[in-house]
Structure formats: C-alpha cells, structure tokens
Structure 1
C-alpha cells in the first residue's frame, strides 16, 4: 500500500498552525511570567480561543491612548538618587 502524499501534506498543514501558535503562546507566557507549558497546551488545543484571550490580556496592559501603563506609580521610594554623583 503506497502512502498518499496529498494526505501527508494536508495533515502537515493541519498540525503545523496549532503547533506554531502553541510555541508562540509558550514564548509569550515565559516572557510575562506565566506557565509556558499551560499556555502551549492552551494555544495548541484551543487556537482561536487562546488568540482572543492573548489579545484581551495584552489590552489590559495599555491605557485608553494605547500607551503602556506605568506600573511604577506610587513607588518613588525605590528610586535612589544622589546629588553627589557626577
């Protein structure tokens, strides 16, 4: 029995997009301190839902004008400035 090359191409395309998106979700999660394995599985198995979820999460990190929120407000005590440093 000879394997059908068209079937392998179709299966390759069907698996490559979820796999690539799973890798992207894992990378994004690692950059933001979240579970890379969990986000890989979420992105691989539920690709459209994970994509919309990522858009919603990234939207929370911005203010109404599209600029990143300043998360350091109210923590001026962490900034040490000395006037004697040239």
Structure 2
C-alpha cells in the first residue's frame, strides 16, 4: 500500500468522525431541555430609563413593531400608550 492509498483511506475515517461530531452537536443543540439562547425578559422599571433596544424589544414582543427610523422619544411615547398599569 502506497502513501497515497493510506491518505485516501484515512480521509474517509476523518469525514465519518466529523459527521458523527456534527450530528451529536446538532442533537444537543436542538433537543435539550434548556435552550441554547434563552428568551430575554421584559425590561422592568420606568420606561423613561430604558435603552432604545429595550424599548424596541418591548414593542416587538407585543407585535407593535416600531418603525426602524423612530426616535427614542417616539418609542417611549408608544410604550407609555400601550403599557398596562396594575390597578
């Protein structure tokens, strides 16, 4: 057996091992009890102190998709109009 024959036969073993690792990784990611990327909680406290990203996330979670060009003041006003205060 030449060196070329050995290299080609070992390539199959490397590919098989890589496939097994890829399948095990995919199974672990998609079939685990705890998600790989847990959902982000709602921001708490006064909306006036939230960042623009938090304002956008709060609106997105309620299907109130804000305009990509909306200013912070516009986002804050929309959150305040839609927030439900406990009675």
TM-score by length of 1: 0.33
Bigger radius of gyration:
2
TM-score by length of 2: 0.32
